[in-house]
Structure 1
Amino acid sequence: MASRRTVQRSRFPAAWAVLLGLLSLLHVGKGGEQVPLLLWTSEGISLPSQSPPTAGHIVGQQQLASYLEKALSVGPRNVVLFLQDKMSIEDFTMYGGAFGNKQDSVFPNLEGALMSSSSPLVLPSVSWPASNAMIGQLQDQLETSPLYMDPETLSQLRLNASSPALLVFRLPYGIGADLVSVKEILSGNDEVIGQVLSIMKTQSVPYTAIYTALQPSREAASLSMEAAVGGGRSLLQARGGYRERERERQQRIKERARIYAPVEFKEGENTCILLWAKRLSVGIQQSGYWEHHDLTPSTFGEGVSPKLHGSSCDKTKAKLVLNYENVLGCSSFKLIFAMSQRHYKVSARRWFTLDAVELECNGTKATFNGSRNIYAPAEYSYRCESVTSFRWPLLIPRSPKDPANQWRVSFEDFQIQGFNVSGSDFSYASDCAGFFSPGIWMGLMTSLLMVLVLTYGLHMIMQLRTMDRFDDPKGPAISVPQTE
């Protein structure tokens, strides 16, 4: 018993050093773009030491794969993956017990697991596209399919140490009207982690556990910053440059919220194509999972001048070519918008249409045909809140065998004009939203139902008939003859 207590006490400072290591790297990177990742093994299992990344370094997809490969090559191949919807490093600093106040921590089970593990690995800044692709990497390394489970299902499953398994537990994350709701959700997630680890312990099967998220919780990040400023966190404010960094962060947020100018292509001195979007993103399917890339920072913003070589325009055809580098494994990547205008006799006017959106990756083209809904009068611009190829698609792959079936495109707050451009401003926008919105349809259907009920009630009232004979109490009673 004495030796066991000595081991437990020796692990305690090391575990807290790991948690405090999270905090030392907290404000170096851009917390709104990365997610943390925690890896540990069951008690009694040791892994080869892996040096954490340097301060400010963001772990990408390839580096994360190397970390996982090194851990699984020696450690247990029964992997328990806790995948939260959203998470940021600020969740630990705001709700964890790393500041010594263990009673306020909402991660007692997680902290206990890190303390009991002899070789935990903490990666404070992992790019969220890398965390999204992690299930595919684990699937390839373990050569098994993921099993999405809950604690009740796990209790009925019998695991084998010699047979690898990938158990995935999805954990929610949400921000309500106050901070208590976030704390309650994280506390509930920690209870789920505790239940799963207890079941794994009863089965006496060694395992490797991973806790990370799909996306960063930017709302939580901003809330934790405000709490750090107002709550007087001395550890975060020890360095004199903290307030300066906070002002710089707020300035970056204001710059991102600023309305940037559209992409403008000129033929000679005259502008002939304008493009604007709140967000441009593309995605590709690799190993059964989607990996996305945001093209907005490389396309719009102050000081950003996208390469437009290959673009052209005339009176009937217009083509806008956006050229990029190093996008989703493509050293040369192009996003092409092909438009045309023609005269329609039925409407007696000219209309322009977005015929196709093409993606070109290292010379290989993927073509999405524009649906019939992407059109506008030739004197107008076209605007739509969402133009995608996968959710209520307006862009459709050209054929079932086209490479476009492996790609996704998504444009938010999208506006484009390829003809009759006057100056550097868009003409009047023809919006893709129909006249009958869902709210209008609901109102019409409710009104129609009420009219039908009223009509049926009036019909029933009109069918009522009065009795032609009444029983007079002052006169003789009405006798009804009875027959036997």
Structure 2
Amino acid sequence: MAETSGFGGAGFLTFIFYFCSSLGCGSGTAQVPVLLWSTDSFPGLAPPSAGHMTSMQELSLYLSSVFGSGSHNVLLFLQDKLSKDDFTVFGGVFGNKQDSTFKNLQAAMQSSSSSVTVPALEWAGPSAIPSLLQEQLGVSPLPVDAETLSHLSLPTSANSLLLISLPYCSSSPKSCREVLNHNDEIIGKVVSFLKAKHVPYTAIYTGLQPSRVISEASVSHQQVGRSLLQTAGPVPAPIMFLNGSSVCIMLWAQNLYISTSGGAVWVDLFTESPDLTGSMCNDQSSLLVLTYASGYRLSFAMTRQFYPVSARHWFTLDSVQLQINGTSQSFIGRSNIYAPAEYSFHCGSVSSFHDALLVPNTTTDQTQDWRLNFIDFQIQGFSLSNGTTFSYASDCAGFFSAGIWMGLLSSLLMLLILVYGLHMILQVNTMDRFDDPKGPSISVPQSE
């Protein structure tokens, strides 16, 4: 039986494509879909969250696990243009068999051992995917077509990358359907030829560029009243250290501020790309070393231990070392920088001077003004399950914050006032006797 892993599954793929098409997932950024299927089994891959756009770095990490060992015959069906709307507008690739434009593609994915679908891959240029495959396989792409493929002798002990170029339409929907149907027939011929020759293969179908890009109006110069859901710009990818083909350390922060002037001047290191040479990880300890071209070096040391009281493993961020031009300062993590070993640690602010979670180990005349301030900081050094995203985050914020305490005390004060008022009302008594106008009047004797 065919096995579908990761984003795969015909019913699930139908839902993803139609859902993203109707809601416009990530419509403000150019994106292309990527379909993969193979006669071999793919490693597991967690499905993306709704609206998530896969980056080229995430795709590169996954392909490195797919092509990590052995030889592979890779077919790259590269269409001039392709968007996820082509599957919904021209119909039937995942479910509608009565009016299907991609019958051969659908059959190939359903009969394969594994299939993976990336609904939205961030488009990084026309040559991004061919260059990525060339880097992963170590061979240059060889342009072929369905006719010349029968004359090729595919190697069995080396990697091969065959590039099949497919056209795209630019006029009426009717001609588009005909062009896409012709492309589907080419895919069917190539796949049928390889099956007849019993050649194992991995096929990738994607676009040279997106066929539809919905641009969003810029709001940078518009005056708006509320900005809760606005973002300042694209979110950078987390820093990942690989142990072989799997990620073992991940770090992300909105800002990695450092200062050597007592806070007068700050430098944000997260805007630079670091070198991870010197990093290491195992089951008991992890060390992430970030070396920047500007001369700065940050090292994060973490350990993993078993605590009998909680009957589980925990990891702690033991120290952060800052080194500049041969001079270094170590900051010790306080006891509240910890998380369960299978979780990640997150904190809105990790600093060494205000509500300090990092305390200087030793201070010299050269390092007494050194400060660290990490904004929206998240790190994980153990038990990375899928290798592309953080695990559940253990946050440093306490449950009873200042706002919660103010609300509880205010509510308690109002409750006491209400109880006191009810108590006073219940203590009000009526008169024992009333003057009856129909009977004799009440005589009140007066003394002279």
Q: TM-score interval w.r.t. the shorter chain?
A: 0.3 to 0.5
